[in-house]
């Protein structure tokens, strides 16, 4: 009788464990502790040049916006609604550029170019807060100019200090609400692709490229916020300036017409640069990352640098106040 021996069991197959990977049936989410900001893809020899350009722009932003705020706060003649809004615009420009510029400059010298998860969340939140607040501030400034030019006799009554405070508070409130919703929608995504963000700061659109989640809800939130934020502010600005242009053209005095256009053209210049870059960044197909970086560079650093120059060089009251302040300091010295 032949007695067959049982065949030995084959050794168990042990699959190697890879950090960050989990069973596909359970979960496909990767826990991310940090991101890498790729920035501008240029040769290392150009890093010094880019660093110097960023540093020069940032120093101009600091000097210009702090200077505007100092002039407005120290000169009683500038205690008007127009300069109250301008001071808040300088405050917003100063802070949202500071959210981006220091980290971008440090990355030119860093080998890792990493930013922590918490730091990325903070960048997205703060930048969204200040950029949305700026959009509403520009709309409030357009309404202020509309009242000043179209109803000059009722200007001091309609644009009371209380109304100005309410408008500015509303700008910050809507900026905060929008920022909370946008940040929550962005970081509720699952990041299971590369950690490398093809941008020089954390922004919701480049972060979408790293996600393997269904982007339908996120895109709907972004579209709704854009519609609620951009459309009303543009309508207020366009309608206000339609009335302003119609009223200015009726002015018989050439000097008065020139002064009115000069006051409004600076504001229109700021609005055109800001909204033009924002439209290009968020409403065009996401196919050209380098062009998107240039557009975001325009509204994140160039606009905050140009605002003080535009409003000071084109504004006689600001120039007179600056001249008076410098003469006072020279007299003390």
Q: Can you tell me the mean pLDDT for 322-326? A: 74
Rounded Cα–Cα distance for residues 54 and 227 (Å): 32
| pLDDT recorded at residue 231 | 84
Which of 302, 321, 325 is closest to 312 using CA atoms? 321
| pLDDT recorded at residue 285 | 64
For residue range 160-210, what is the model confidence (pLDDT) as tens digits? 999 999 999 999 999 999 999 999 989 988 887 678 898 899 988 888 888
Measured torsion, CA atoms of residues 159, 69, 311, 144, in degrees rounded to the nearest 10 = -10
Domains of the chain, residue spans: 34-318
Burial class, 107, CB count within 10 angstroms (exposed 0-12 / middle 13-18 / buried 19+): buried
For residue range 283-320, what is the model confidence (pLDDT) as tens digits? 666 666 777 888 888 888 988 998 888 877 667 777 77
Q: With a cut of 70, say whether residue 282 has pLDDT above it.
A: no
Pick 34-318's CATH classification: 1.20.1070.10, 3.40.190.10, 1.10.10.10, 1.10.3720.10. 1.20.1070.10
What tokens appear for 271 in the block? 């609005």
Specify the pairing of strand 34-37 against strand 196-197: parallel
Q: Can you tell me the mean pLDDT for 49-68? A: 93
């Amino acid at each position: 009788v032949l007695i067959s021996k049982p065949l030995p069991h084959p050794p168990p197959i042990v699959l190697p464990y890879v950090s960050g990977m989990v069973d596909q049936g359970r979960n496909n989410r990767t826990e991310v502790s940090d991101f890498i900001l790729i920035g501008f893809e240029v040769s290392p020899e150009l890093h010094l040049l880019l660093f110097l350009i960023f540093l020069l722009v940032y120093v101009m932003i600091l000097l210009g916006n702090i200077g505007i705020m100092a002039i407005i706060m120290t000169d009683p003649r500038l205690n008007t609604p127009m300069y109250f809004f301008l001071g808040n615009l300088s405050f917003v420009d100063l802070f949202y550029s500071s959210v981006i510029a220091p980290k971008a400059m440090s990355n030119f010298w860093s080998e890792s170019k990493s930013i922590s998860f918490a730091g990325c969340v903070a960048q997205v939140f703060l930048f969204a807060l200040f950029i949305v607040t700026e959009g509403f501030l520009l709309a409030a400034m357009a309404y202020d100019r509309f009242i000043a030019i179209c109803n000059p006799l009722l200007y001091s009554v309609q644009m009371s200090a209380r109304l100005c405070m309410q408008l500015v508070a509303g700008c910050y409130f809507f900026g905060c609400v929008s920022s909370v919703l946008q940040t929550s929608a962005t970081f509720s995504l699952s990041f299971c692709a590369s950690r490398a963000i093809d941008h020089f700061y954390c922004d919701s659109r480049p972060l979408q490229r790293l996600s393997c989640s269904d982007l339908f809800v996120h895109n709907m939130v972004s579209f709704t916020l854009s519609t609620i934020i951009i459309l009303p502010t543009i309508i207020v600005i366009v309608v206000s300036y339609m009335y302003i242009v119609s009223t200015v053209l009726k002015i018989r005095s050439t000097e008065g017409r020139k002064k009115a256009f000069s006051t409004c053209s600076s504001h229109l210049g700021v609005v055109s640069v800001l909204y033009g870059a924002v439209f290009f960044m968020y409403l065009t197909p996401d196919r050209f990352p380098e062009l998107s970086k240039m557009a975001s560079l325009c509204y994140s650093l160039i606009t905050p640098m140009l605002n003080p120059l535009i409003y000071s060089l084109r504004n006689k009251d600001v120039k007179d106040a600056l001249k008076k302040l410098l003469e006072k300091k020279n007299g003390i010295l």
